[in-house]
A and B are shown apart, each in its own frame.
Chain A
Amino acid sequence: MSTINPSSGRDVPTGPTLPHDTVEKGHHWRTKDDEFDAGKLGMWLFLGTEVLLFAGLFCGYAIMRMLYPEAFANGSHYLNWVYGGANTLILLWSSYTMAAAIRHTQLGDRARAQICLVITWLCALAFLLIKFIFEYGPKWAEGKRPGVLFDYPYAQNAMEPMWWSLYYAATGIHASHVVIGMGLIGWLIIKNAKGWYGPKNYLAMENIGLYWHIVDLIWIFLFPLLYLIH
């Protein structure tokens, strides 16, 4: 059995009633639209707090870079922009697939949304693998570590440990956000498989999508600051 979705024009299978058709609004809301708007407003406020969290790191970066420009120039030479660039492309692509997943859900195409979500999740995994296997791992082994753990014998500047401190703090906190994002997107994949999301019920997916975009956006700032500016 199938029908044509009026907004997408695609052939959409309609099986037994899925959970997203029967999701009710919370008892304290007047309308489902109110609930949706509130969810979006809450998410944007939360994203504001995320920006402010990273603002502290960027502020520390700016001050330390001003104090020790040479150490920071040296430091960024140790980073390979190819890995950073690859990760940038991966995150940008995953942001696109995340947005596409939401669009497909709005149009009622659950299968395509699922494919997009899985691609997003795999991109996040790829980002972390590149980060850990090609960047953190070798650098840590060479002694390019933060603070007192710094043990790299060929350092050209006494302040290089500071650079590595900020590098690990900024990329580490960002990576922890990627891990949280993988958890959330994984949760979306499971719930989408059970049919929770559809044209009338996609707030959770949209909010997690917004979260994923800000993870991407923060990396877009970290990449030039850490890898490209000498």
Chain B
Amino acid sequence: MSSLDSHAGSAPHAGGHHGSYLTSKGSLWADIANWATTVDHKKIGVMYLTALLILFFLGGVMALAVRLELLEPTRSIINAAGESVTTGQRLAFLAGDGATANNIYNRAMTLHGAIMTFMFIVPGIPASLGNFFLPLMIGAKDVAFPRLNLASWYVYVFGSLFALASALVGGIDTGWTLYTPYSTMTDADHWRLVAMVTGVFIMGFSSIMTGLNFVVTVHKLRAPGMGWFDMPLFVWAIYATAIIQVLATPVIGITTLMLIFERLFNFGLFDPRMGGDPVLFQHFFWFYSHPVVYIMILPAFGVISETITVHARKPIFGYRSVAFASLGIAAVSFLVWGHHMFTSQGELTAAIFSFLTFFVAVPTAIKVFNWIATLYKGSIVFNTPMLYTLGFLFLFTIGGLTGLPLATLSTDMHLHDSYYVVAHFHYVMFGGTVIAFLAGLHHWWPKMFGKMYAETPAKLGFWLVFLGFNVTFFIQFVMGAHGMPRRYASYPDEFQWMHIISTVGSWMLLAGFLVHLFTFIHALLQGKTASANPWGGMTLEWHADSPPDEHNFEHEPIVKHGPYAYDRVVPPHTDPQDYPLPEKSDPN
């Protein structure tokens, strides 16, 4: 690799060039057969992206239904015939089993949670952007086990179908945490729950396959010259995530199996009537599900580390500490599961878990401070990825800091299971992961599809999403602190004005996402052709064509400078985009 722009606008390469991975195979059927059996990580990444966005849409519809329901304390709206019906009754025809409006509300809420956590956010960034860019960023032709990669997509879709089948026959109303004994005792028609839990079990395999694949890929397929500390931070983040995926997911595997046995045969392990312990389920569940919170957020940290350095034209501040912080978060994530159960365990245990929980703040704060230090004196370009990156810093900081009162025993006793918790984890999951996902999607869109998106509508989309998100969720901190419990369809009148604000915010969010959908479709159909390196990035994926060649690189790249060597390779105050990078043997 001589320089960054060696591919841009150059004549077709002689030999070894197979054309873009998006090149059609001829007929539509040939294309479908080609995509369905592909082992190309880029196509699998795009397939994941498609499936994820469909599920995100379904989960979003459920969220809108939940918010619409909460618009009125009595939950009634006027239908077309002028009758007053609750939204639950409107949705009830979907269930067709005489469920009450409250049941329907609970099912919509559960479905929203289950789809968004298990099917969207957990696989989200690693499976889509990670699949596409991890091999590119380390200069590999593919992931270590391409067929396993394809299998993981099919397993993921298969598992999702199980979960959606449960939704189509009415859905479950346990909340996404599936707590026993509620999930084993209520609801005579248990097949819905078994289908959902089986879906989660199956998707766990997909998660393990992806994680395992990424760990081996990072260990074995880095390009010549790329040491561990020459890896882009996105790769570090995905690597740390993959380790958690491999270590935590088997535990949810056995937990879901136990839950299925419990539901089908009343095993009694979690049933107090038979000598079991429901808190044991909570321990098992959170031993997986707390590390999973970091499966959701670590890849987002990786995306932000990439976007912030490229769009501020500065080397990332404290590269090694950001890299180690990823591993630190991965390690601490396994020690803090008990903080979800402060109200159902002994005081000493709770105090220990509280103490351990505060430790997560250290590596997380290291990252945030390093990002802010990266921005300092940077040449910040306020394009959509950068706006989302700044939005991430703002929202994630709120999300992180509002976690502290929940990690503190005394305040948690008051805030437990209130809307404060809802607001907190939406600020982390949505304000963190989804916002970073959108930053990454815009940042890498030209590389993935070879087309630029239109900047102005994309910025409009950002502002609608950013403001809509804050309108929806900030008020929920207030609501929760005032005592509004989560998971209730009806509530005292005094909370109504806050719920109205929140629901209106959810509509703004919808508008924002529709704008983004429009910009993405517009970009695919009519977008300007993207150059190989539209942002002036220095990581290896920008050395490939846009969209990349079927085998990623014309020649195997040899790494001669670190991923963010803006200060050493590009003269100060120059736009790297215009500057052909010289050969450099000095690492980092």
Q: Which residues of A contact B (CB under 8 A)?
A: 26-30, 34, 37-38, 41-42, 45-46, 48-57, 59-60, 63-64, 67-68, 146-149, 158-159, 161-162, 165-166, 169, 173
Contact = CB atoms under 8 A, between A and B. Distances in A.
Contact of A56 (B212, B213, B284, B551): B284
B536 interface: no
B254 A57 contact: yes
Interface string B215-229: 110011100000000
12 contacts: A28-B221, A34-B221, A38-B219, A42-B148, A49-B208, A52-B250, A64-B275, A147-B268, A162-B276, A165-B265, A165-B269, A169-B261
Given A28-B142, A28-B146, A42 B213 contact: yes
B297 to A, nearest CB: 22
B220 A53 contact: no
Interface of B: 140-146, 148, 208, 212-213, 215-216, 219-221, 246-247, 249-251, 253-255, 257-258, 261-262, 265-269, 274-277, 280, 284, 551, 556
Contacts of B261: 146-147, 165, 169
Nearest to A145: B265
Contacts of A37: 220
A211 to B, nearest CB: 14
A45 B247 CA distance: 9
A68 B250 contact: no
A62 to B, nearest CB: 11
Contact of A42 (B141, B145, B146): B145
B276 A42 contact: no
B247 A169 contact: no
5 shortest interchain CB distances as A-B pairs: A56-B254, A28-B141, A52-B250, A148-B266, A28-B142
B213 A28 contact: no
B274 A161 contact: yes
Given A56-B255, A63-B277, A162-B274, A34 B250 contact: no
Contacts of A148: 265-266, 268, 274
Nearest to B252: A56
A38 B251 contact: no
Given A64-B269, A67-B275, A34 B246 contact: no
B89 to A, nearest CB: 36
B413 to A, nearest CB: 26
Contacts of A34: 220-221
Contacts of A28: 140-143, 146, 221
A26 B143 CA distance: 11
Given A28-B146, A56-B254, A147 B220 contact: no
A161 B284 contact: no
Contacts of B145: 38, 42
